[in-house]
Amino acid sequence: MAKIYSIRKSRHILKTVYAWFKKKGNTLEAKPHENLEADLRKLDTAVLSGNKEDADIIAKKLEVFSEKNIKKSIFDYASELAFALIFALIIATIVRQMWFEPYEIPTGSMRPTFKEQDHLTVTKTAFGINIPLKTEHFYFDPDLMQRTSIVIFSGDGIPLPDTETTYFYLFPYSKRYIKRNMGKPGDSLYFYGGQIYGIDAKGNPIEEFLNSPWLKNLEHIPFLSFRGSISSNNGDQFFFQQMHEQAGRVLLSKFREREAQVFTGKEWVKDNPMALKTSHKSIQTYSDILGLKNFAMTRLLTKDELKTQTALDVKNSVEEAPLYLEINHTPTLAIINPENEKNLKRADELLTTFKTIIPLNESHLKKIMDHMYTARFVIKDHKASRYSADDSPRGLTNHQSPTFADVEDGTYEFYFGKAYKIQFGGIASLLDSSHPLYNLSAENIQKLYNLGIEINTEYNPSSKNQSFFPNRYAYFRNGSLFLLGSPILEKDDPALISFLKAENEKEKNSAPNKPYIAFQDYGPPLKNGEYDKEFIRTFGITVPEKKYLVLGDNHAMSADSRVFGFVPEANMQGAPSLILWPPGDRLGAPEQKAYPIFVIPRLIIWGIVAIIALIWYLIHRRNNKKSIFE
């Protein structure tokens, strides 16, 4: 027995045949024309009355007529397809630009919150209503912007390479980026101990930087490299920028005489690194800015490698140790190695750091491995390179790729001391403790520490005055020395106590023509247990009006405000809402201060969608109750 058509299907056949009848019915002879019109009226009556059985009989009759007489041309099919595609494109663009959009994470700049190949949804109504395909808003509420929450922003006008792309391969478009909002207009921020101390425009402490659980495992370093970005003026004036703001400059005369200056925020003053030996209340040296003096760039060296570093005064009598932590600290423009001055090849050689070392014992190296983190990297034929989302080569030669002789081909990563192999779709599986990547040899630990972010042997300490340093940072917090975000040398560690004593002696006994500044714990910006507001405003950085400071959770490999500066209000486009893939404990809401749900931008967009849906429903319902002949 044939299945009876539903009223909905019968109505569809009615509309299809009637549309043809209105357009081409006059091509029929009088009797067939009259019969077809009669059948259409009968079916219309049956559909309106809900008579399923009568509608079924007539609909099937008209369906046979349709199959014989209603033939679509290629042009008809093409025009229908074009209309459908254009309509779908317009709707998709509006929805994705103004309401929500799926994203895939291409890089590791937001690890561990978001990892490469993560899939998430982004709401576009967390704090504003975007104008589609533009870096502008119909509506924006700055009060809805939250510190420590994650934002999506446009690269339009941001000084980054390759920000231009196309949307749906059709419309010119600026790429979108994802970072954590750490500074609102008027905020003053200072970096100490891998943390941020801040006050808002009214002078109130921003305590969420220290108290938020989603920041607990994150470090905040105020720079990627001490030299920041460098620009020159006719080859005789070199400017150094931090946070894309003027920080220092070196003026060279035609006789190669130099004058080093730092920018206080109001004026240029002579760079005087010796000011760090005393308490001072204004910016007097490059290391004052942002708290640069609180941080160091580090790498692990063997004893033989120590001897190749001419800037280090290392005797054969240095304490024997498996590895040595080289600490490059307190950057300065006012002091430079005479050898660099004579054979200046690059502008970054105008900036130098003081250097010191700490011998590390087996327990220190074990702690380093217990907290090791790396970039995600791919091993092929025992050669490693950093993971790329599009599988494109990173331009490394075989000589530049580090070797992992005992590791099979695959994609790997370290985080919080755990090694993972990355499977299809970005799913990570924990490696067994016997895996070669966990090798506790000094050679393996040195390789993972020095090359684990860059995955490039150019960062090996293979030559004198090595200019490349890995993005591995050290800092003091509460008297302990932190590496990899953890206190590797506790404040009561004999090695640290001995180091600090030696640093003080080295500074005290340094000659005026070859001064030395000790690497030490300057302490947080507190006064009588409270935030020192004057200090933070003077030595920190203040966010301008209608701009925001954004940082990547993975400070070691994130191009963020430290590179391109503040993000304009107009560039803010949305916020992540859910991690959809891969499965695991990160699935769901990301680690951030949750955005409120019932806010004006959301209510406006949801209200518009609800009104459109209601209007469509009412029109559809009205048409279904209305004769097609009316």
Give 315 or 63, the one with higher predicted confidence. Answer: 63
Two tokens, residue 83: 């209309």
| DSSP reduced 3-state for 191 | strand
| Whole-number pLDDT of residue 343 | 55
The total number of structural domains that make up the chain = 2
User: Which tokens in the block code for residue 34?
Assistant: 């009259």
Over residues 51-64, mean pLDDT: 90
Tens of pLDDT along 572-613? 999 999 999 999 899 999 999 999 999 999 999 999 999 999
Mean pLDDT of the chain: 91
Domain assignment present for residue 374? The answer is: yes
Residue among 90, 97, 164 nearest 124 (CA) = 97
Residue 119, domain member (yes or no) = no
Establish if 605 belongs to a structural domain.
Answer: no
- The pLDDT of residue 316 is above 70: no
Task: Give the end-to-end CA distance of the chain in Å, rounded to a whole number.
Answer: 35
- The runs of H, that is alpha helices, within 397-543 are 442-451, 494-509, 533-539
User: Is residue 366 predicted with pLDDT exceeding 60?
Assistant: yes
Say what the pLDDT of residue 465 is.
59
pLDDT per residue as tens digits for the range 32-50: 899 998 999 999 999 899 9
- Mean pLDDT score, 526-534: 96
Lowest mean pLDDT among 21-30, 96-105, 128-137: 21-30
DSSP assignment of 534-565: HHHHHHSEEPPTTEEEEE-SSGGG--SHHHH-
Residue 190 to residues 289, 502, 538, Cα–Cα distance (Å)? 9, 28, 9
Between 474 and 311, name the one with better pLDDT.
474
pLDDT at 214: 96
Q: Which residue among 71, 105, 120 closes a domain? A: 71
Of residues 564 and 2, more confidently modeled: 564
- Closest by alpha carbon to 152, among 504, 480, 550? 550
300: nearest Cα among 191, 111, 154, 447: 447
Helices (H) and strands (E) in the chain, counts: 13, 32
The helix/strand/coil state of 114 is coil
Question: In the predicted model, what is the mean pLDDT of residues 173-202?
Answer: 97
338 located within any domain: yes
Q: Which residue has the higher pLDDT, 625 or 410?
A: 410
> Which residue, 570, 466, 461, 530, is CA-closest to 203?
530
The pLDDT-based confidence of 311 (bands split at 50, 70, 90) is low
Is 30 inside a domain boundary?
Answer: yes
Please report the pLDDT score of residue 73 as a whole number.
80
Percent of the chain with pLDDT over 90: 72
Asked, for residue 305, whether it belongs to a domain, the answer is: yes
304-308, 383-387, 508-512, 514-518: lowest mean pLDDT where?
304-308
**pLDDT of 180:** 98
Distance CA 475, CA 488 (A): 11
In angstroms, the CA 378 to CA 359 distance is 32
Residue 306 pLDDT:
84
**Residue 568, amino acid:** P
| Domain extent for 18 | 7-71
262, 228 in Cβ contact below 8 A? no
DSSP H stretches of helix in 99-213 = 208-211
Confidence at residue 361, expressed as pLDDT on a 0 to 100 scale: 97
Taking the C-alpha atoms of residue 67 and residue 69, their distance in angstroms, rounded to an integer, is 6
Count of other CB atoms within 10 angstroms of residue 89: 14
Would you call 180 exposed, middle or buried from its count of C-beta atoms within 10 A (0-12, 13-18, 19+)? buried
Residue 197 lies in a domain: no
- Our CA angle for 269, 274, 275, nearest 5°, is 60
Q: Look-up: residue for tokens 């030669």?
A: 397
pLDDT at 91 over 80: yes
**553, part of any domain:** no
The residue among 198 and 79 whose pLDDT is bigger is 198
Asked if residue 460 lies in contact with residue 451, where contact means CB atoms within 8 angstroms, the answer is: yes
Q: Has this prediction a pTM greater than 0.95?
A: no
- For residue 72, name the pLDDT band (cuts at 50, 70, 90): confident
pLDDT of residue 301: 93
pLDDT at 327 over 90: yes
Task: Tell me what the mean pLDDT of segment 251-277 comes to.
Answer: 89
- pLDDT-wise least confident of 181-185, 197-201, 346-350, 382-386: 346-350
Q: Given phi > 0 = left and psi -120 to 50 = alpha, else beta, which region is 425? A: left
- Residue 69, number of CB atoms within 10 A of its CB: 14
